[in-house]
Amino acid sequence: MKNTPLYIHICDPLQEKSLKLLGTLLNGRFQISTGVEIKHQSILDYLICGRPRKEDIHNCPNLKAVIIPFAGVPSSLAGILKGHPQISVHNLHHNAVPVVEHTLALVLAAAKNIIPPHNALCKNDWRPRYAHNPSVLLQGKTALILGYGEIGSRLAFIFHALDMKVVAIRKSITIPSHDSFTDIYPSTALHTVLPQTDILINTLPLTAQTEGMIAEKELALLPQGSIVVNVGRGKVIDQHSFYNALKNGHLGAAAIDVWYQYPQNDDSRSNTMPAESPFGQLDNVVLSPHRAGGLNSDATERLRMEHLAHLLNHAARGEPLPNQIDLHQGY
């Protein structure tokens, strides 16, 4: 254990209870500051910040690592850190469990056609009970998970428990493999496995390689009536192809948590379309405003402090920090 403290700055303002919790979880000597203005710049060791500015990095000559306090990598970060190979970048995966639970809710809502009958019964309309029921029985179906990291592997466990066959695409492998629940294929096998897929779940980050990965050709390869769920990043799935496949009935349903357009300020939060295509006009789509990660929930904030403490305790012991990102790969 180091005798001198490690200097940490957290850009997001933390509530007192979160800062207190973090303090109880840390094992070592730490000097922690928070807020927009970075303290102890000349001796700062670790910066907890999703979108640091170029001058922030320049003014911290002792900086060892940037920890992004969420999943994913802002597109600007690679350029900002160019010329600073001594600074590593790490993610927090604290939101994996909330995302998995929300994804399961979205899968079930889409497969069981929950939303239209709910909307009808809110108006005292019972007719959906007596009409054709388009809900899908999940048992025996095949789920294809794009991305087999923290989220994908947890989803595989749940789908296996539902007596589903689970297949995954993982970019980091070159030959097929298998674990307890899942047949895992390299990305080159995508077009081979899509025709066998009943439910496609995207958990991928947005990179130059994944943008538009699922477009008109890929959606057409899915069997008629398939379900698509997106909790990774919106632009992994081409929005116009996605909308058209839902509108013309090739896809049976979809559930979407990640989007193509976001509010740019507080005033636009109440009137921003999530995409150019009007997904909200379709009855076979479940819309969720990017909330799978449990943003602003007490439970998720506790997980964030626990995972941050886990990384910083590695630093206090002089060990490499987990969850390092390859900025060139984007994950």
Q: Is 70 helix (H, G, I), strand (E, B) or coil?
A: coil
Please determine, for residue 2, whether its predicted confidence score (pLDDT) is greater than 60.
no
> How far apart are the C-alpha atoms of 219 and 195, rounded to whole Å?
9
Please determine, for residue 280, whether its predicted confidence score (pLDDT) is greater than 50.
yes
Mean of the pLDDT values across residues 79-108? 94
In which band, very low, low, confident or very high, does the pLDDT at 1 lie, cut at 50, 70 and 90? Answer: very low
Mean of the pLDDT values across residues 291-308? 93
Sign of CA dihedral 176, 179, 183, 184: negative
Q: Across the chain, what does the average pLDDT equal? A: 95
Q: What is the pLDDT of residue 328?
A: 78
Mean of the pLDDT values across residues 169-181? 94
CATH superfamily of 6-94+297-316: NAD(P)-binding Rossmann-like Domain (3.40.50.720)
Strands 177-178 and 182-185: antiparallel
> How far apart are the C-alpha atoms of 197 and 138, rounded to whole Å?
12
Burial zone of 306 (CB within 10 Å; 0-12 exposed, 13-18 middle, 19+ buried): middle
Mean of the pLDDT values across residues 226-248? 98
Which residue intervals of the chain bear CATH 3.40.50.720? 6-94+297-316, 96-287
Q: What is the pLDDT of residue 83?
A: 85
Is the separation of the CB atoms in 89 and 73 below 8 Å? Answer: yes
Is the separation of the CB atoms in 45 and 62 below 8 Å? Answer: yes
Under DSSP, the state recorded for 149 is S
In which band, very low, low, confident or very high, does the pLDDT at 290 lie, cut at 50, 70 and 90? Answer: very high
Q: What percent of the chain has pLDDT over 90?
A: 88
In which band, very low, low, confident or very high, does the pLDDT at 94 lie, cut at 50, 70 and 90? Answer: very high
Q: What is the pLDDT of residue 296?
A: 84
Mean of the pLDDT values across residues 194-210? 96
Residues 37-82 pLDDT 10s: 998 999 999 999 999 999 999 999 999 999 999 888 888 888 898 8
The reported pTM is 0.92
Burial zone of 148 (CB within 10 Å; 0-12 exposed, 13-18 middle, 19+ buried): buried
Please determine, for residue 124, whether its predicted confidence score (pLDDT) is greater than 70.
yes
CATH superfamily of 96-287: NAD(P)-binding Rossmann-like Domain (3.40.50.720)
